[in-house]
Amino acid sequence: MKTTIKVASPGRINLIGEHIDYNDGFVLPAAIDKCLYLTFKPNGNEKRCTIQSKGFDSILVVDLSELGQGTEGWHNYVIGVINEIQKLTPGLKGFDCTMESKVPVGSGVSSSAALECGLAYGLNELFNLGLDKWQLIKIGQNAEHNYVGTKCGIMDQFASVMGKKNYTMLLDCRSLEFEYIQTTIEPYRLLLLNTNVAHNLSTGEYNVRREECEEGLEFLAKQYKVEKSFRNITLEMVQSSKKELRKVVYNRCSYVVQEIERVLKAVAFLKKNELKEFGALMYQTHEGLSKKYEVSCPELDFLVKLSLNNPHILGARMMGGGFGGCTINLIHKDAIEDFIQEASKAYKNKFNIDLTHFQTVPSNGTHLI
Catalytic amino acids? 156
Half-sphere exposure of 46 (CA within 13 A, CB side): 3
For 292, residues 6+ apart whose C-beta sits below 8 A from its C-beta are 251, 252, 254, 255
Distance, in Å, from the CA atom of 80 to the CA atom of 67, rounded to the nearest integer, reads 9
The answer to whether the CB of 203 falls within 8 A of the CB of 295 is no
Terminal Cα-to-Cα distance of the chain (whole angstroms): 17
Q: What number of other Cβ atoms are within 10 A of residue 323's Cβ? A: 22
Distance, in Å, from the CA atom of 332 to the CA atom of 188, rounded to the nearest integer, reads 4
Distance, in Å, from the CA atom of 139 to the CA atom of 81, rounded to the nearest integer, reads 6
Distance, in Å, from the CA atom of 54 to the CA atom of 79, rounded to the nearest integer, reads 18
Distance, in Å, from the CA atom of 64 to the CA atom of 49, rounded to the nearest integer, reads 7
